[in-house]
Amino acid sequence: MAHQEVEIFIDTVITNNEERSLEQLLKKYLPAIQLKQYRYCRCEDSKEFLSHISNYNPNKEIAYVGRTALDLSGICFIRFDENPNEGIFYVCKNVKAEELEKEEIKNIFANPHASTITRA
């Protein structure tokens, strides 16, 4: 029987400095934006993936398996760098989709020469 892939969203327990810095920069262009950032993984065996400390540290992080456990009210997208199964998942609130489509905003989220951004 073939395994079905699951999505894992990993949040930090402490302040996520990358998330806060990115939000502050975005607020220069989009003052009302609220940003939530998760580390994202797509895999077949969530228990196996989460059992490795290099993937997930339960002392510093919270893992959510599947989207139903998250508040995804907002515009969601994923940034992939090198690995097409791992990336950064963003939830943007208080902003319109067309505002996020502007080139200068996209370039804040990702290097256009090294990353791809996909609506989720």
Is the distance from CB of 18 to CB of 38 less than 8 angstroms? no
Angstrom distance (rounded) from CA 24 to CA 62: 24
Domain boundaries, the chain: 6-119
pLDDT > 60? residue 91: yes
Sheet of 116-119, strand order: 61-65, 6-12, 34-43, 86-93, 75-80, 116-119
Phi, psi at residue 26, to the nearest 5°?
-65, -35
Q: What are phi and psi of 107, to 5 degrees?
A: -70, -20
The 8-class DSSP code of residue 89 comes to: E
Give the pLDDT confidence score for residue 2 in this predicted structure: 57
Query: What residue has token string 């994202």?
Result: 40
Any bridge partners for residue 89, and if so which? Answer: 38, 78
Q: Cα separation of 106 and 13, whole Å? A: 27
pLDDT, one tens digit per residue, over 8-66 is: 999 999 889 999 999 999 999 999 999 999 999 999 999 999 999 999 999 999 999 99
Please list the residues that pair with 118 across neighbouring strands: 78
Average pLDDT over the chain reads 93
Q: Using pLDDT thresholds of 50, 70 and 90, give the confidence band for residue 69.
A: confident
**95 — pLDDT class (breaks 50, 70, 90):** very high
